[in-house]
Amino acid sequence: MATAYSDVVSDSRPPYMSSYAVEDSWGQQVTTPHHKTSSISRKKEYSLLTKCVAEFLGDLTFVYVGTMQAHLFPFADGILHAAFAHGLTIFILVTAFGHISGGHFNPAVSWAIAGAGKMPIWHLPFYVASQLFGGFCGAMLTASILTQTQLSDCSAGATLVSPGTQWWQGLIAETVVTFFLVHTILISAADTDTVTLAPLAIGLTLSIDILSTGSITGASMNPARSLGPSIVGTIFATQQTSYYWTYHYIYWAGPLLGSTIALCVYKLFESREERIVP
């Protein structure tokens, strides 16, 4: 999903007709016209540290917005409010940080991008650690603003299985919506010549996933969105520990399963260069 631009070297073709190949923020090679010049221009690659900082800041922002907006959840428009807040935030974050880290902000997304060969596999643990820590810090920022009563009233903004929902229902729900999200990312961003509309497509997919499934599991699709608020709720809110952790595994198993299914579909039928089925 995220990779650096390659060096740009001029050639001897006429002005406006020459071109150079670069890799965009999602790992795709594109050809861009440029003026003939006698110099060599270089775009410096972002280091892994810089990419991890981008992922940390992105998840800090995403989880902060997601947990703060949950303070309004008891109102009638709670699901609509959550869908709009999360979708708009991810649209902005992918647009802002996509050229640096790829704008994953989700371990399930990073898993799929690495599996698709768009990111070195050894980057994966560093991305995931940055995302999880960013999510925790975002939840801590919310806890520093809300009172204990306010934090408890909104369950620290944690994603929780709704009352009456069985574990298998929650697992299927998280798997399905994560499949939709990751499949959209792989098709619109990781394997195309242009990523102009990718942030919008990703943000809208996140929003409709929340609108459809938010009342079942909160539609996390993201372990980094779920882990930090659960830790913060356990420490600072008044609910019992089991309130946050009884079904927490769903928010890891579901997204990783949905992401893996999306990756398999992509590798089988949709990858432009390496698909198994012609």
Cα 164 to the center of its chain, rounded Å: 29
pLDDT of residue 63: 98
pLDDT of residue 42: 61
Whether 121 and 20 have beta carbons less than 8 Å apart is answered as no
**Which part of the chain is CATH 1.20.1080.10?**
48-270
Neighbour-count burial of 18, counting CB atoms closer than 10 A to its CB (0-12 exposed, 13-18 middle, 19+ buried): middle
Whether 61 and 48 have beta carbons less than 8 Å apart is answered as no
Structure tokens at 141: 């920022």
Enter the CATH code of domain 48-270: 1.20.1080.10
pLDDT of residue 65: 97
Structure tokens at 90: 């991810």
pTM of the model: 0.84
Query: Could you list the mean pLDDT of each consecutive 10-residue stretch along the chain, which spans 278 residues?
Result: 38 33 46 43 84 98 96 70 96 96 97 95 98 98 96 94 96 98 93 83 98 96 98 93 94 98 95 85
pLDDT of residue 178: 99
